[in-house]
């Protein structure tokens, strides 16, 4: 098959490799907007901190050459001609396809006044991250304001603090990563951030980016104006779908896909942060923008483009803070539990969210060794009521005791 893939992020490059493996006589063109080899955004902080390239270019910088993928960088798709089965590029050239996978990922979503002014940084792409960290490393920036207290804002704050920047996070909700962490787990993370020198300005609303010719401050809704050398937007992400505006492909927040990850058009699939796939727990369409979902979806979309007809089990929610010094993992949901079990000792905290005897979410801080066990029980929808409070206590994760108990229950 002559296939085109929009994107060489974790979803796109996985799809490209899968196509080459499963259809060696076909051809694959893989497009990206940036000048870099396929990379993992999740490894950017580590890359800038350590200088390591191997996790950033997680497939190797020569993956395209090695696998026979026609990788084309700085090739921006601006439209899709579904009737003629062609992708339209920024220079008006066209690439014909028999099968298409859209893996264009997500971009910054900054619904704030002044968000389109020059001088605002983000940490969503390697190109932007390179510019931002370049300014710090050249000594041009000693202070930073990060607007947004979600995962990316927190990761970036730790990186900047380690690089000697005086960094403040501004967040609307009074605790960090409010969509992912409950207040108790967030409190553990916040203590860690403060110890690392990150300042938290939470429970305040950033209203506008301000400054001319370049943005140099943020106005809060109480009128305060906060200034810094670097102003960073980490206000959330949204799927990269603007090039689909004239196409018949059905979109909402992201691209609608069915259980095989096919879009509303036959032979056109979507995967990764751009796809609204089913949530494994609720069955509703949702974008869980994380690396493992992107990789799994890229593989399935490619196999299904070749006719495999595999069903995608559903996207899961899972986040871990890697650079805090205190390991923290959050998985599943904390919405509408009918019971919550907690165990705390020193800086270790476990919270298990239950509904109808099954785990719907888990948050672990300090000691995350049981994360794999909880995840496995959650994904199996196992009835864990037989464990009672023992479910959160230390030692729960030891060996086959769990599986024996489950088998007997």
Ligand X SMILES: Cc1cc2nc3c(=O)[nH]c(=O)nc-3n(C[C@H](O)[C@H](O)[C@H](O)COP(=O)(O)OP(=O)(O)OC[C@H]3O[C@@H](n4cnc5c(N)ncnc54)[C@H](O)[C@@H]3O)c2cc1C
CA distance 280 to 22: 27
Instruction: Please identify, using beta-carbon distances, which residue of 247 and 387 lies nearer to ligand X.
Output: 247
Instruction: Please identify, using beta-carbon distances, which residue of 11 and 362 lies nearer to ligand X.
Output: 11
Non-local CB neighbours of 398 within 8 Å, separated by 6+ positions: none
Instruction: Please identify, using beta-carbon distances, which residue of 354 and 362 lies nearer to ligand X.
Output: 362
* Closest distance to ligand X from the beta carbon of 107 (Å): 7
Chain contacts with ligand X (rule: CB under 6 A)? 6-12, 31-34, 41-42, 44, 75-77, 103-106, 123-124, 152, 155, 240, 243, 272-274, 289-292, 294
* Closest distance to ligand X from the beta carbon of 77 (Å): 4
* Closest distance to ligand X from the beta carbon of 209 (Å): 20
Q: Output the six-digit token pair for 259.
A: 């259980």
* Closest distance to ligand X from the beta carbon of 273 (Å): 4
* Closest distance to ligand X from the beta carbon of 193 (Å): 16
* Closest distance to ligand X from the beta carbon of 407 (Å): 32
CA distance 133 to 242: 28
The bridge status of strand 275-278 relative to strand 328-332 is unpaired
* Closest distance to ligand X from the beta carbon of 292 (Å): 6
Instruction: Please identify, using beta-carbon distances, which residue of 151 and 353 lies nearer to ligand X.
Output: 151
Instruction: Please identify, using beta-carbon distances, which residue of 270 and 384 lies nearer to ligand X.
Output: 270
**8 A C-beta contact, residue 330 and residue 374:** no
* Closest distance to ligand X from the beta carbon of 387 (Å): 28
The bridge status of strand 268-270 relative to strand 206-210 is unpaired
What's the gap between Cα 119 and its chain centre?
A: 24
Instruction: Please identify, using beta-carbon distances, which residue of 38 and 337 lies nearer to ligand X.
Output: 38
* DSSP helix/strand/coil, 339: strand
* Closest distance to ligand X from the beta carbon of 316 (Å): 10
**8 A C-beta contact, residue 275 and residue 238:** no
* Closest distance to ligand X from the beta carbon of 242 (Å): 8
Instruction: Please identify, using beta-carbon distances, which residue of 9 and 337 lies nearer to ligand X.
Output: 9
Non-local CB neighbours of 314 within 8 Å, separated by 6+ positions: 277, 278, 279, 280, 281, 283
CA distance 164 to 137: 10
Instruction: Please identify, using beta-carbon distances, which residue of 238 and 350 lies nearer to ligand X.
Output: 238
Among 178, 179, 136, which Cα is nearest to 160's?
136
Give the containing element (helix H, strand E) for 79.
Answer: strand 77-81
Q: Output the six-digit token pair for 32.
A: 């990206």
Instruction: Please identify, using beta-carbon distances, which residue of 6 and 300 lies nearer to ligand X.
Output: 6
Q: What residue spans of 247-370 are helical by DSSP H?
A: 291-305
Quick one: residue 219, left, alpha or beta (phi over 0 = left, psi -120 to 50 = alpha)?
beta
Cα angle 34-37-40, degrees, rounded to a multiple of 5: 90
Name residue 371's beta-bridge partners.
none
Instruction: Please identify, using beta-carbon distances, which residue of 324 and 384 lies nearer to ligand X.
Output: 324
* DSSP helix/strand/coil, 176: coil
What's the gap between Cα 400 and its chain centre?
A: 33
CB atoms within 10 A of CB 214: 10
């Amino acid at each position: 098959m002559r296939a085109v893939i929009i994107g060489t992020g974790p979803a796109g490059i996985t799809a490209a490799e899968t196509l080459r493996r499963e259809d060696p006589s076909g051809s694959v063109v893989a497009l990206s907007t940036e000048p870099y080899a396929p990379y993992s955004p999740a490894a950017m902080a580590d890359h800038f901190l350590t200088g390591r390239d191997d996790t950033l270019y997680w497939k190797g910088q020569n993956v395209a050459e090695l696998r026979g993928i026609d990788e084309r960088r700085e090739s921006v798709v601006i439209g899709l001609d579904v009737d003629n089965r062609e992708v339209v590029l920024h220079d008006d050239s066209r690439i014909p396809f028999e099968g298409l996978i859209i893996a264009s990922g997500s971009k910054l979503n900054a619904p704030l006044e002044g968000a389109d002014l020059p001088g605002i940084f983000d940490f969503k792409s390697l190109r932007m991250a390179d510019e931002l960290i370049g300014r710090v490393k050249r000594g041009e920036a000693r202070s930073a304001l990060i607007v947004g207290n979600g995962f990316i804002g927190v990761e970036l704050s730790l990186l900047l603090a380690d690089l000697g920047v005086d960094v403040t996070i501004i967040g609307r909700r009074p605790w960090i990563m409010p969509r992912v962490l409950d207040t108790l787990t967030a409190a553990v993370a916040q203590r860690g951030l403060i110890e690392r020198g990150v300042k938290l300005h939470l429970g305040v609303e950033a209203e506008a980016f301000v400054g001319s010719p370049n943005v140099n401050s943020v106005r809060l809704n109480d009128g305060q104006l906060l200034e810094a050398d670097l102003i960073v937007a980490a206000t959330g992400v949204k799927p990269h779908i603007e090039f689909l505006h004239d196409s018949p492909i059905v979109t909402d927040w992201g691209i609608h896909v069915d259980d095989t990850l096919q879009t509303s058009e036959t032979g056109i699939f979507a995967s990764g942060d751009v796809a609204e796939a089913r949530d494994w727990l609720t069955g509703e369409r949702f974008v869980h923008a994380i690396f493992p979902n992107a990789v799994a979806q890229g593989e399935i979309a490619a196999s299904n483009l070749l006719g495999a007809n595999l069903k995608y089990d559903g996207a899961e929610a899972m986040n871990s803070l890697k650079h805090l010094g205190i390991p923290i993992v959050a998985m599943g949901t904390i919405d509408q539990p009918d019971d919550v079990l907690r165990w705390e000792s020193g800086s270790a905290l476990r919270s298990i969210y239950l509904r109808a005897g099954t785990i719907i979410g888990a948050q672990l801080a300090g000691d995350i060794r049981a994360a794999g066990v909880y995840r496995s029980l959650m994904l199996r929808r196992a009835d864990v009521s037989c464990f009672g409070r023992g479910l959160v206590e230390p030692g729960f994760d030891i060996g086959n005791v769990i599986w024996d108990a489950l088998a007997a229950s």
